[in-house]
């Protein structure tokens, strides 16, 4: 009797929460890269996705040190609050920071400063990134891109192969069946690795809250002098020229994404806490890049064109 009763009882099942599953997947990917590649690097801008990436790297290799440096591709037109946060967080993590400077590329005559109404250094990041990868011999680069951000990113693999020119061919991607990744590359080639591919913006904020991660202050509501251009609120800054009809005004805003000041827009918001921000995101039907990134509006395939050339 007792044996029959015992056999009929359902066995206890161990289930991971959504965030636990995503964290475990990302940590597995990071450890796989550390085991398979000689010189990985983690791209770190100080934005929310790279903050989560750095935290995952700390967990993946704890109690040891993170076994690779971090790199920021610096346009020279960044938000001061983000640069201060970047340096502080890197120091706390005890990792080496490699800075790939777009300004140095311009000064050396390797790229030309863009001009015009929508001029931005964002596209010039590709040259600085590829040169830094080659000069440092990096064979794998972690990025914080997510598939929910933009359609070109939605079709990119977690392990994204780049040829000897750093270029991406969306029609020649490697299968990733059952969590198995092909890490083979030849000399001069490298892999971009995206551990956050399956995360959403809400997942990112949920993890930030759970881990109590610090972020740059511009992610939360504040007053800022802005002007409107093609439906985007751009910050008043010395790197952009306003048209005569683009009047400055002060607004209560926050940023959903962090990038170059010349092409990253703010959103009107009074959200100053995690719960308010998550409620705000849950109610919107526009991705953070779709709502705030002017560089993605230059054409329907703007992001894919840049990625083909070697962009993140």
Lowest model confidence (mean pLDDT) among 79-83, 109-113, 215-219, 221-225: 109-113
pLDDT at site 5: 37
pLDDT at site 8: 45
* CATH T-level topology, domain 18-203+301-309: Rossmann fold (3.40.50)
* 273 φ/ψ angles, rounded to the nearest 5 degrees: -140, 165
For residue 144, pLDDT beyond 80: yes
The 8-class DSSP code of residue 65 comes to: -
The 8-class DSSP code of residue 236 comes to: P
Average pLDDT in the chain:
88
User: 28-51, pLDDT tens digit by residue?
Assistant: 999 999 999 999 999 999 999 999
Alpha helices in the chain (DSSP H): 2-8, 18-36, 48-61, 80-93, 102-107, 125-136, 151-154, 201-211, 274-283, 288-292, 302-309
Task: Tell me if residue 204 falls in helix, strand or coil.
Answer: helix
**CB of 286 closer than 8 Å to CB of 236:** no
pTM of the model: 0.88
Question: Which part of the chain is CATH 3.40.50.620?
Answer: 18-203+301-309
What DSSP string runs through 237-303?
Answer: -TT-PPPTT---EEEEEE-SS---TTTB-BEE----SHHHHHHHHHH--S-HHHHHBGGGGSSTTHH
Identify the residue whose tokens are 């039907």.
285
Q: Of 33, 19, 239, 236, which Cα lies nearest the Cα of 118? A: 239
């Amino acid at each position: 009797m007792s044996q029959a009763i015992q056999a009929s009882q359902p066995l206890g099942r161990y289930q991971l929460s959504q965030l636990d599953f995503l964290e475990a997947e990302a940590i597995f990917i990071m450890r796989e890269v550390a085991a398979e590649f000689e010189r990985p690097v983690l791209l770190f801008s100080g934005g929310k996705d790279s903050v989560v990436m750095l935290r995952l790297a700390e967990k993946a290799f704890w109690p040891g040190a993170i076994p690779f440096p971090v790199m920021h591709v610096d346009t020279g037109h960044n938000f001061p609050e983000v640069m201060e946060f970047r340096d502080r967080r890197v120091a706390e993590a005890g990792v080496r920071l490699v800075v790939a400077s777009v300004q140095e590329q311009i000064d050396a005559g390797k790229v030309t400063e863009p001009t015009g109404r929508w001029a931005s250094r964002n596209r010039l990041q590709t040259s600085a990134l590829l040169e830094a990868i080659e000069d440092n011999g990096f064979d794998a680069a972690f990025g914080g891109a997510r598939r929910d951000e933009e359609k070109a990113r939605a079709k990119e693999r977690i392990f994204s192969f780049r040829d000897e020119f750093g270029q991406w061919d969306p029609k020649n991607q490697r299968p990733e069946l059952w969590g198995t990744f092909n890490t083979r590359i030849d000399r001069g080639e490298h892999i971009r690795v995206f551990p956050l591919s399956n995360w959403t913006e809400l997942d990112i904020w949920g993890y930030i809250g759970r881990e109590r991660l610090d972020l740059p202050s511009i992610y939360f509501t504040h007053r800022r002098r802005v002007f409107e251009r093609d439906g985007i609120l751009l910050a008043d800054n010395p790197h952009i020229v306003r048209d005569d009809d683009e009047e400055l005004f002060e607004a209560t805003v926050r940023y959903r994404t962090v990038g170059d000041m010349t092409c990253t827009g703010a959103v009107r918001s009074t959200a100053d806490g995690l719960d308010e921000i998550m409620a705000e995101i849950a109610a919107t039907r526009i991705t953070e890049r779709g709502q705030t990134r002017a560089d993605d509006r230059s054409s329907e395939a703007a992001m894919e064109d840049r990625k083909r050339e070697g962009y993140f």
